[in-house]
Homo-oligomer: A and B are copies of this chain.
Amino acid sequence: MANTDGPTRERISITAYELLKEKGVSGLSMRALADRLHIKAPSLYKHVADKDEIIADLQARGLREFGEAIKKAGKSRKAKALAYRKWALGNPHLYEITVSIPLLRDRIPPGLEDGVTKMIIEITGKDHAHARAVWALMHGLVDLEIAGRFPKDADLDLTWKRAIAMIGKA
């Protein structure tokens, strides 16, 4: 008799997150995940329907933790913007899986996405169109920075300063 205590659904989630943190999106495979849990890949399918269920789990975690980080930040628009950057750069793989691949809307807790969206609208203090533009600005900065698209000598602190100056001036 081998393991009597198989991996719970919870342990699968936690291990998937560890794997993502260490190896990134491309390193998150069902086989690698199974290895860490000391089971074979097919056994995973007794606990989850498919890989998307695991991805949706991580996206939900990303939205939750991101939302908390923004909530905890100072109240000014500048503080919120810098918290956005800090969180994204501190959790690049979680940011990527949450925001750079299609969101599995039907498989994350309802209201979670809306909650984060509403928070962004509240921060900008204007209408939805403006809030979306601000979000795009933040996301674009972070995405290009994570992807290494800015030259090495680029002054990104200054770039963020300019970006923050843009907000609210429309």
Task: Pick the contact of A139: B130, B144, B148 (CB < 8 A).
Answer: B144
Interface size class of A (residues with CB under 8 A): 35 or more
**Residue with the greatest number of chain B CB neighbours at <10 A, chosen from A100, A129, A140, A160:** A140
Given A136-B137, A136-B141, A138-B140, also A162-B129 (CB < 8 A) = yes
Q: Which of A7-15, A29-37, A41-49, A151-159 contacts B (4 or more CB under 8 A)?
A: A151-159
* A133 adjacent to chain B (CB < 8 Å): yes
* A1 adjacent to chain B (CB < 8 Å): no
* A103 CA / B152 CA spacing, docked (Å): 14
* A112 adjacent to chain B (CB < 8 Å): no
Of chain B, the residue at the smallest CB distance from A143 is B143
* A161 CA / B160 CA spacing, docked (Å): 21
> How far, in Å, is A79 (CB) from chain B's closest CB?
18
* A100 CA / B144 CA spacing, docked (Å): 8
* A128 adjacent to chain B (CB < 8 Å): yes
A contact residues vs B (CB 8 Å cutoff): 99-103, 128-130, 132-133, 135-141, 143-144, 147-150, 154-156, 158-163, 165-167, 169-170
Name 8 extra pairs, CB < 8 A, besides A102-B148, A130-B162: A132-B141, A133-B141, A133-B159, A133-B166, A136-B163, A137-B163, A165-B170, A166-B169
